[in-house]
A = this chain, B = another copy of it.
Amino acid sequence: MIFKAKLFNIDAGKPVIILHEEDAKRYELFASDRIIIKHGKKQAVAFVDTTDNMVKPGEMGLFGDVYKKAKFEANEKVEVFYLRKPQSLQSIRRKLDSHELLPEEIDEIVKDIMNGNLSEPELAVFISAVYTRGFNINESVALTKSIVNSGETIDLGKGKKIVDKHSIGGVTGRTTMVVTPILAACGAYIPKTSSRAITSAGGTADAMEVICDVNFSAQEIKDIVLETKGCVVWGGGAYLAPADDKLIKIRHPFSLDPRGMLLASIMAKKKSVGAEYVVIDLPVGRGSKIKDNNEAKELAHDFKNISEKLGIKTSVVLTDGTDPIGWGVGPSLETIDVIKVLQGDGPRDLLDKSCTLSGILLEMCGLAKPGCGYKASIDCINSGKAFKKFEEIVHAQGGAKKLKIDDLPVGKHKVPIYCPMDGRVDYVSNRRIAAVARAAGAPKMQGSGVVLRCENGDKVKKGQILYEIFSDSETQLSYALKMDKKLQPIELKKVLLETI
């Protein structure tokens, strides 16, 4: 097979050549097939793609990724050879056929993912295989280790009490921003990486970004934590466990979260920052990712098992995930809640949940006596130490030395949502409140979002404010109002459910 080279001065992000569909059919080459192309001593490995108009039959289109490195030139005669498929494909096939994968097979797959040797459809088959056939604990441990090895790690050194926390799924309030300064103020090290919003109105990284930078390299994170004992940074910026990002990218369209991968994904992030003590928060109930207690207990059991094999001490807590935590929804409005809590005047539920989580970690690593962690956390806040530590961390991440709530952005337009009749609040939907906040402009417009003025169980009167919408844009505000009408995020108790 010999083709005339046609160069496209564009990088495709992976080594791709394009052939006319007729040629591809003729030589039985398929999109994503691997080939070697040669001219004289020049050669390159590439994936095949096909077209019906970019090149003519007999021509081969070479993108920048291919021709620049190997120095192919226009109109050169390029010969094509089939290339053996990577060994990983056989391992993936074995998983499809229900076999247990060996650690070295999983490592080979992760390496091929990082080197771009597996195409996206091939990765999709891998994830489907793990979803339908499952990963056992050994496989999850192997995947965790391989993901950790795929990128940078943070080594804070020996003899430190390194802790971490993780909350799974849904809107869970900004406990991380309260837990972190408490732990650091009490003497633990907490190199906390967080995510940005996916389906919510803001992730912890979005909220933290209102008051300081969150985008740091692994080395910078290490420096910050050695200085202040804590940080709250964006996990996507530090090349920690990068193979996980590639796996998430493929899982995303189907929201496929095979348990064995979910476990590895979370534990790899903890392992890559050197965590020794971890608390995992599993919110359970209506509107949260985990629907029932049994599912949560199975997952908790798996977390304990895998942690043990990784040399990490882990506690798993099942929490009530039905109601939103805190008042604000949206980056700045959530950060205001956090500051209020740290100043002793914030939403009670956020204080309560945060101190529960930090209390468990304090007890686990021996910084509080058994049974005294919660109180130690409350004391840490009441003494002002937690807020002082928070200011230190924010300043180390490039923020102001002193934090004032009035400096934080709040959407300049505000609309209250009134209660339509007397009654009792029966349900506040995390998901629907987040949708209204997103419509108002969160997380992009930092001051936009929602502030709740009632909670589940409250007796409410007609005309009372249920919640307020804030936005910097009138257009987005009217969009949010439409969303409120459609979704009705706050439900009142009804006697008559339906008339048929």
Contacts and interface: CB of A to CB of B under 8 A. Distances in A.
Given A132-B129, A236-B25, A10 B8 contact: yes
Contacts of A128: 96, 124-125, 128-129, 132
Contacts of A256: 93, 96, 125
Contact of A93 (B8, B198, B254): B254
Interface in A19-35: 25-28, 30-33
A56 interface: no
A124 B129 CA distance: 11
Given A1-B444, A51-B13, A236-B25, A30 B252 contact: yes
Copies in the complex: 2
A50 B28 CA distance: 29
A481 interface: no
Given A121-B123, A124-B121, A132-B129, A253 B28 contact: no
A461 interface: no
Given A120-B31, A131-B96, A85 B253 contact: yes
A128 B31 CA distance: 18
A25 B123 CA distance: 20
A345 interface: no
A372 interface: no
A226 B1 CA distance: 37
A474 interface: no
Contacts of A50: 13
A10 B10 contact: yes
Contacts of A131: 96
A31 B92 contact: no
Interface in A225-268: 236, 249-250, 252-254, 256
A127 B89 CA distance: 15
A382 to B, nearest CB: 37
A468 interface: no
A54 interface: yes
| Contact-residue size bin, chain A (C-beta under 8 Å from the other chain) | 35 or more
- Point out which of A1, A131, A249, A253 has the most chain B C-beta atoms below 10 A from its C-beta: A253
A291 to B, nearest CB: 14
Interface in A91-133: 92-93, 96, 119-125, 127-129, 131-133
Interface in A308-346: none
A26 B202 CA distance: 11
A96 B132 CA distance: 7
Contacts of A253: 30, 32-33, 85, 89, 119, 121-122
Contacts of A51: 11, 13
A419 interface: no
Contact of A250 (B49, B121, B249): B121
A338 to B, nearest CB: 22
A431 interface: no
A21 to B, nearest CB: 9
A196 interface: yes
Contacts of A367: none
Contacts of A27: 444
A1 B476 CA distance: 12
A64 B96 CA distance: 38
Contacts of A403: none
Given A93-B254, A132-B133, A198 B28 contact: yes
A196 B124 contact: no
Contacts of A132: 96, 128-129, 132-133
A28 B254 contact: no
B196 A25 contact: yes
A299 interface: no
Given A51-B13, A125-B128, A196 B28 contact: yes
Contacts of A250: 121
Interface of A: 1, 8, 10-11, 13, 25-28, 30-33, 49-54, 85, 89, 92-93, 96, 119-125, 127-129, 131-133, 196-198, 236, 249-250, 252-254, 256, 444
9 contacts: A10-B10, A11-B51, A13-B49, A13-B50, A28-B197, A89-B254, A92-B254, A96-B256, A125-B127
